[in-house]
Amino acid sequence: SAVISQKPSRDICQRGTSLTIQCQVDSQVTMMFWYRQQPGQSLTLIATANQGSEATYESGFVIDKFPISRPNLTFSTLTVSNMSPEDSSIYLCSVQEQGESPLHFGNGTRLTVT
């Protein structure tokens, strides 16, 4: 199964700044997703990272706040822009190798905004 490396593993950021999170997969995958997990909560899908085109965002998430890049089938980035303390969360990259196969996750980026 795919191995996912996510960087950074954690960061503490100032309000108003931006952070870019990287997700690297050890094999080519069709589907890549970004999730958010707020403290004590379950996972919420932010967007699907589409290779070569704009990401598909879920309700409540917008490109200006969470720009996503996917330059190829093994790499994606998520930027959290103009951060506020409400953005403090764990951000998780996940991939799906083929339709209806399970998701594989990175270990997440724990973001704290002060």
Partner 1 sequence: SQKIEQNSEALNIQEGKTATLTCNYTNYSPAYLQWYRQDPGRGPVFLLLIRENEKEKRKERLKVTFDTTLKQSLFHITASQPADSATYLCVPQGSGTYKYIFGTGTRLKVLA
Question: Which residues have C-beta within 8 Å of that of residue 108, sequence separation ≥ 6?
Answer: 6, 9, 37, 90, 91, 92
Handedness of CA 96, 101, 102, 104 (dihedral sign): negative
Residue nearer to partner 1 on the CB measure, 65 or 110: 110
Residue nearer to partner 1 on the CB measure, 17 or 101: 101
Q: Which residues bind partner 1 (CB under 8 A)?
A: 4, 31, 33, 41-45, 48, 58, 92, 94, 96, 99-100, 102-108, 110
Residue nearer to partner 1 on the CB measure, 22 or 81: 22
Minimum distance, C-beta of residue 21 to partner 1, in the bound complex (Å): 13
Tokens of 72: 């190829």
